[in-house]
Structure 1
Amino acid sequence: MATNFEDLDCWKACYDLELYVKKEILTNLPKTERFELYSQLLRAARSGTANIAEGWGRYHYKENIKFLLNARGSVAEVLVHGIEAKDCNYISEEVLKSLRERVESCLRLTNGYIKYLRNRNSE
């Protein structure tokens, strides 16, 4: 059992995604995107980990699940912005592929945690 949100595999995967976005994507965006794509990508990447942490801090399973669903949406948003960055030739196909793999991992682990909580709630 996790003693805090940092022990959750879904949080770890989302934090890895956040760091990857900062290192491999944001650094390659032009200054003209500083207040547009850059800002949206950064907020979406941070939102995944923040929602998992906030949900973990809630008392009821249903509240936690609500925040996990929000985290899932934020992770999907990261992919949308990554696709746009690739289409604008800001990042390579290889970077986008790695981003997709990280997003899929985040979604799979978050979905697993949601399933676990739903099962616990029904007990």
Structure 2
Amino acid sequence: MMNFEKLDVWKRSARLSAELYKATSQLRDFSYRDQLTRSGLSVPSNIAEGMTRSSPKEKCRFLEIARSSIAEARTQIYIGIEIKYLPSQKALQWLDETKEISAMISGLIKRIESKN
């Protein structure tokens, strides 16, 4: 069983989630903030849950949920930039980070699938 805490993709997604929480803590639009922080939090949570599963199929299922959540967060970041809820310079960095995290999750899924 792989220790999820050693995975760079888990570390980076957990860091991004924390940054999203901090950056939106003063935001009055609770529903937007809630959606963004939930999707961000879902990524490292599902990576952790997936990597502790014993079957490769289960691992991949949770990783696919994590990949969907990072796409959801990316969408919410784009909208946050457009409606001026997020600082655009920082938000553009987050968009790049979501793309890299998504690619890392895809690579991890491929690695798990190729072992079977």
Instruction: Provide structure 1 residue ranges, at least 5 long, that are not aligned to the other structure.
Output: none
1:70 aligns with 2:69: no
Residues in 2 aligned to 1:78 and 1:105: alpha-carbon distance in whole angstroms: 13
Pick from 41, 44, 62 the counterpart of residue 36 of structure 2. Answer: 41
Give the drift of 1:91.
1.7
TM-score normalised to structure 1 length: 0.87
Instruction: Give the aligned residue type for 2:19.
Output: Y
Which structure 2 residues correspond to residues 9-48 of structure 1 after superposition, within 5 A?
Answer: 9-24=8-23, 26-27=24-25, 29=27, 31=28, 33-34=29-30, 36-48=31-43
TM-score scaled by length of structure 2: 0.92
Q: Percent identity?
A: 30
How many residues of Structure 1 are paired with residues of Structure 2 in the alignment?
116
Runs of 4+ in 1 over 6 A off after TM superposition: none
* Residue identity opposite 2:78 in structure 1: I
Indicate the RMSD between aligned Cα atoms, in angstroms. 1.4
Higher relative contact order (CA 8 A, sep 6+): 1
Larger Rg belongs to: 1
Could you list the runs of 5+ residues in structure 2 that have no partner in the other structure?
none
1:97 and 2:92 aligned: yes
